[in-house]
Amino acid sequence: MNKLVLFLLIVSLLGALGSTASSYSDSEAPEAAGTACNETESQCLASSQNTGLETTNCSAPVEAKTVNITSNCKVYPAYTAAPAEEGNYPAIVLIHSFRGFEPGYQIMVDRMAEDGYVVIAPFWQTYSDSPSDAEVEALIRNSTVYLETRDDVDSERLGLTGFCAGGRYTMLFLPQIEKFESGVAWYGFPYMGGSETQPDRPASLIDQLDTPMLIIHGTRDQYSNITDIYRYVGELDAADKYFEMKVYQGEPHGFMITEDGELSESFVAQDAYEGMITFFDRTLNSSAL
């Protein structure tokens, strides 16, 4: 009789433990959900009124989310990141390369937010791999309109940066969009244009450029030859337009993003990134230039 009672107690205990384990794996499962936040960290995962997903970087005071930008009656997703602490920050529009918004760009946007900038990266290839310059210009302008609606943005301190095709767009639109106070063009194409969808070459708009520009390029760029860049900065100099230039010997086109789409952690990549931030710090946070 005692053995039967003991057996029934053991079975009952095992059943209770199994039920608890099953409940935990279905409802909590912190490992499967990704990095969990401490109790002192807030909004690591919350819904966004714009697109349904908003995330906060738990390792740094940064808030990031995807928003919708309406431009020419089309809706474009755009990734944004900003310092979590309340303030009035300078803002940057970042134009990704022809290869799309790769994971490395998201990491870069988050780092720029850590460095004190509100950043928006519109997905300009949402409807076409090669949209017209007019479409991209409208999207960039509407991205600045969005930035101006944010309480954490100082609309008098806006910058533009872009990579590859985005570098060309930086060279092209910095002279045309007066809201930008400075820009950084990464391995751009100053002489690309002259077609129906790309009527203007950036070099043809030098006379309209009234804001500082930093040009970053590699000497082994197989798509945008360094000789074109030297020619372009020569024309900038002849027109007495303020520019700065960082040239990295031996670096190919797109050296900031690896073949796997990740942000490069090479010495050159880190130095170039710091060069961009330093340039924006000087041109957007002071009247030094």
How confident is the prediction along the chain (289 residues), in pLDDT tens digits per residue?
444 444 444 434 334 333 333 332 333 322 322 322 332 222 222 223 333 334 444 455 999 999 999 999 999 999 999 999 999 999 999 999 999 999 999 999 999 999 999 999 999 999 999 999 999 999 999 999 999 999 999 999 999 999 999 999 999 999 999 999 999 999 999 999 999 999 999 999 999 999 999 999 999 999 999 999 999 999 999 999 999 999 999 999 999 999 999 999 999 999 999 999 999 999 998 544 4
pLDDT value for 129: 97
Instruction: Return the pLDDT at 171.
Output: 98
Q: What is the pLDDT of residue 271?
A: 98
Residue 286: the pLDDT is: 59
Which pLDDT value is given to residue 60?
Answer: 54
Q: What's the confidence (pLDDT) of residue 285?
A: 81
Residue 66 to residue 81: CA distance in whole angstroms: 9
